[in-house]
Amino acid sequence: MPQPPPVEKPRKRRRSAAGLALGLVVLSPLCAESLSGYDSTTGDPLALLGGLLFLGPLYGCPALLIRELARRRRLGWPGIVTLAAGFGMLQAGVIDQSMFALSYRAIPYWDDLVRPTLIEPLGTAPYLVMVFVTGHIVYSFCAPIALVESLGGPEAHRPWLRARGLTIAVSLYLAAAFLVWHDHLSITDDHASLPQAGTALATAVLLFAAALAWGRRDGTAQRAHPIPPAMAVGALSMVAALVFNLLPSTWPGVAAGTSLLALAAAAVAAASRSARWTRRHVVAVAGGAVLAMALTAFARGLLRHTSGRRSGGPAVRAQHRVPAGIARTDRLGRAARRPAQSRCAGKVARTVRASGVPVQDQVAARASTVSRPRPPSASSAMSRRHGSPGPPWSVT
């Protein structure tokens, strides 16, 4: 008598895939935002859990879409990294526009990040481009994908979502991205120009096309040449990420960071061609970078505590030297608004020559405009960073 086809295995696979997809949506914002420990919500479990309702769609959904596209098109890690770079360019250049901001949401150390490498005709600083795009590639997308897939077993290289799941992920991401974009345009005057946003969008499209065209797995035969064990690879990844996190926001820092990224990419690409390269090595690369971020955040918090947050003290200077952790502050504009004169000072410098109005008069005019009370926006009330009001779910 023929046996009926098994039913439980497909259902079990679907449940497993759904759990992995949800895990990626949760882990991505934790690595991108929470792990760096820059926010005052650090240590507040309820606030962190509430933040996932917004940060999950903003970070987790694109990470999930990158992963699903890669598995459906049989893309290797070069394709995944290229897709992540495209989303990173889209996030920082078009959605929150932090890549082109000379003064962003009254963050007090923004000038220290922008001015040393600012290229005025382009309206951006290569240092910002480097840390923002690299931060998205590593912490927002690739490291979470590698870590969650390591738990997937046979599901690691299979698609996790059906058409309905893909539609939900795209819709949630577009909604979150629109909220951030609209919030940025409504509460600040330092916007990306149309050519700047168009260039960032075109670059993202080119990166997506390159990933689909040349990002497939290499079909050449692998050789069993020796490579370091997974633990050593993880240690090297952690050291490289720590060095990158501590680079200064200067032209030598940009040169050193670019060289370090190129060297790390070449080393991983060469090692991954070995038949001895396993999933453990992939997890070691991702885990080393994540551990480096956690150590950087711990060291920065310890310096802040020991120095009492004295102005110009070692904690402040150390904070300025932590680009990957500080780079997380470009999202959502959760920094507090400073006095109106401080908010518009950077913008006045760019418009005084065109208008001919004295700087003092422009500052006073902008102050009278921006100091009018505004209703709270969707993303500006997300956090209490630098003394801003707490998120809605943390108010008791």
**Token output for 230:** 């997974």
Q: According to the model, what pLDDT value does residue 5 have?
A: 55
The pLDDT value recorded for residue 362 is: 47
Which residue ranges in the chain fall short of pLDDT 70?
1-9, 39-40, 218-221, 307-396
Q: What is the distance between the alpha carbons of residues 330 and 128, in angstroms, rounded to a whole number?
A: 10
Answer yes or no: are the C-beta atoms of 33 and 328 closer than 8 Å: yes
Contact 156, 283 (CB under 8 A): no
Phi-psi region of 271 (alpha: psi -120 to 50; beta: other; left: phi over 0): alpha
| 3 state SS for 12-28 | HHHHHHHHHHHHHHHHH
- Quote the tokens at residue 138: 């590593």
Q: How far apart are CA 379 and CA 302, in angstroms?
A: 28
Q: What residue segments make up the domains of the chain, in order of their start?
A: 18-336, 338-380
Q: What is the value of pTM for the model shown? A: 0.76
d(CA 341, CA 359): 11
Q: Which run of H or of E encompasses 189?
A: none
Question: Do 67 and 209 meet the contact criterion of CB atoms below 8 Å apart?
Answer: no
CA gyration radius for the chain? 22
pLDDT, residue 302, reads 80
The pLDDT, as a whole number, for residue 338 is: 32
Could you report the per-residue pLDDT of 351-383, keeping only the tens digit for each? 444 445 454 454 445 444 444 444 444 444 333
Query: pLDDT (tens digit, 9 = 90+) per residue, 137-192?
Result: 999 999 999 999 999 888 888 999 999 999 999 999 999 999 999 998 888 888 89
